[in-house]
Structure 1
Amino acid sequence: MEVFTIASWEIWKQRNARIFRNSTPSFQSWKDCFFTSVKQEAYRINSVDRELALSWLHSIS
Protein backbone atom coordinates (compact mmCIF):
# COMPACT_ATOMS: atom_id res chain seq x y z
CA MET A 1 0.00 0.00 0.00
CA GLU A 2 2.82 2.40 0.77
CA VAL A 3 4.20 1.92 -2.72
CA PHE A 4 1.03 3.37 -4.21
CA THR A 5 1.13 6.26 -1.77
CA ILE A 6 4.74 7.02 -2.66
CA ALA A 7 3.99 6.78 -6.39
CA SER A 8 1.04 9.15 -6.04
CA TRP A 9 3.04 11.57 -3.92
CA GLU A 10 5.83 11.68 -6.50
CA ILE A 11 3.28 12.33 -9.28
CA TRP A 12 1.86 15.15 -7.17
CA LYS A 13 5.35 16.61 -6.71
CA GLN A 14 5.93 16.46 -10.48
CA ARG A 15 2.67 18.34 -10.99
CA ASN A 16 3.61 20.98 -8.44
CA ALA A 17 7.02 21.45 -10.03
CA ARG A 18 5.29 22.05 -13.35
CA ILE A 19 2.91 24.61 -11.89
CA PHE A 20 5.16 26.48 -9.45
CA ARG A 21 8.64 26.14 -10.96
CA ASN A 22 7.62 25.79 -14.61
CA SER A 23 9.74 22.64 -14.93
CA THR A 24 8.99 19.91 -17.43
CA PRO A 25 7.78 16.71 -15.79
CA SER A 26 9.20 13.47 -17.12
CA PHE A 27 8.82 9.80 -16.44
CA GLN A 28 12.54 9.47 -15.75
CA SER A 29 12.43 12.22 -13.13
CA TRP A 30 9.40 10.63 -11.49
CA LYS A 31 11.06 7.20 -11.55
CA ASP A 32 14.28 8.50 -9.96
CA CYS A 33 12.35 10.25 -7.18
CA PHE A 34 10.16 7.17 -6.68
CA PHE A 35 13.16 4.86 -6.30
CA THR A 36 14.83 7.25 -3.87
CA SER A 37 11.70 7.50 -1.73
CA VAL A 38 11.14 3.74 -1.66
CA LYS A 39 14.77 3.17 -0.66
CA GLN A 40 14.38 5.66 2.18
CA GLU A 41 11.16 4.02 3.35
CA ALA A 42 12.83 0.59 3.26
CA TYR A 43 14.87 1.55 6.32
CA ARG A 44 11.69 1.82 8.38
CA ILE A 45 10.78 -1.87 8.00
CA ASN A 46 12.39 -4.98 9.45
CA SER A 47 15.41 -6.52 7.75
CA VAL A 48 13.61 -9.48 6.14
CA ASP A 49 10.96 -7.29 4.55
CA ARG A 50 13.57 -4.68 3.67
CA GLU A 51 15.49 -7.18 1.58
CA LEU A 52 12.27 -8.22 -0.15
CA ALA A 53 11.35 -4.59 -0.88
CA LEU A 54 14.80 -3.73 -2.19
CA SER A 55 14.93 -6.83 -4.40
CA TRP A 56 11.50 -5.92 -5.81
CA LEU A 57 12.73 -2.39 -6.45
CA HIS A 58 15.82 -3.72 -8.20
CA SER A 59 13.69 -6.03 -10.37
CA ILE A 60 11.61 -3.16 -11.76
CA SER A 61 14.54 -0.84 -12.45
Structure 2
Amino acid sequence: VQQGWSADWSQSGSTVTAKNAAWNGSLAPGQTADIGFNGSHSGTNTNPVSFSLNGAKCS
Protein backbone atom coordinates (compact mmCIF):
# COMPACT_ATOMS: atom_id res chain seq x y z
CA VAL A 1 0.00 0.00 0.00
CA GLN A 2 1.50 3.29 -1.08
CA GLN A 3 -1.33 5.56 0.04
CA GLY A 4 -4.57 4.95 1.94
CA TRP A 5 -7.44 7.16 3.02
CA SER A 6 -10.36 7.17 5.45
CA ALA A 7 -8.80 4.46 7.63
CA ASP A 8 -5.74 3.84 9.78
CA TRP A 9 -3.55 1.60 7.59
CA SER A 10 -0.72 -0.73 8.55
CA GLN A 11 1.23 -3.32 6.60
CA SER A 12 3.44 -6.22 7.63
CA GLY A 13 4.85 -8.07 4.63
CA SER A 14 1.91 -8.95 2.40
CA THR A 15 -0.69 -8.45 5.17
CA VAL A 16 -2.48 -5.10 5.06
CA THR A 17 -4.83 -3.98 7.84
CA ALA A 18 -7.33 -1.12 7.71
CA LYS A 19 -8.88 -0.02 11.01
CA ASN A 20 -11.49 2.67 11.50
CA ALA A 21 -10.20 6.21 11.66
CA ALA A 22 -11.01 8.29 14.73
CA TRP A 23 -13.77 10.17 12.88
CA ASN A 24 -15.59 7.08 11.48
CA GLY A 25 -15.33 4.60 14.35
CA SER A 26 -18.98 4.86 15.30
CA LEU A 27 -21.60 5.13 12.56
CA ALA A 28 -25.33 5.39 13.07
CA PRO A 29 -27.55 2.74 11.47
CA GLY A 30 -27.72 3.29 7.71
CA GLN A 31 -24.56 5.42 7.56
CA THR A 32 -21.51 4.32 5.59
CA ALA A 33 -17.83 5.14 5.36
CA ASP A 34 -15.79 4.50 2.21
CA ILE A 35 -12.10 3.63 2.38
CA GLY A 36 -9.56 3.22 -0.38
CA PHE A 37 -5.92 2.73 -1.20
CA ASN A 38 -3.33 2.91 -3.95
CA GLY A 39 -0.82 0.11 -4.14
CA SER A 40 1.77 -1.46 -6.36
CA HIS A 41 3.28 -4.89 -6.80
CA SER A 42 6.33 -6.16 -8.59
CA GLY A 43 6.94 -9.80 -9.35
CA THR A 44 4.61 -12.73 -9.81
CA ASN A 45 1.24 -12.84 -8.11
CA THR A 46 0.06 -16.37 -7.29
CA ASN A 47 -3.60 -17.32 -6.82
CA PRO A 48 -4.72 -17.13 -3.18
CA VAL A 49 -5.74 -20.37 -1.48
CA SER A 50 -8.42 -18.70 0.68
CA PHE A 51 -10.01 -15.41 1.71
CA SER A 52 -11.27 -14.27 5.09
CA LEU A 53 -13.11 -11.26 6.47
CA ASN A 54 -12.83 -10.47 10.18
CA GLY A 55 -11.49 -13.99 10.73
CA ALA A 56 -14.42 -15.70 8.95
CA LYS A 57 -13.52 -17.75 5.89
CA CYS A 58 -15.18 -16.63 2.63
CA SER A 59 -16.27 -19.07 -0.04
TM-score by length of 1: 0.25
**Structure (1 or 2) with the larger CA radius of gyration:** 2
Which is helix-richer, 1 or 2? 1
Which is strand-richer, 1 or 2? 2
TM-score by length of 2: 0.26
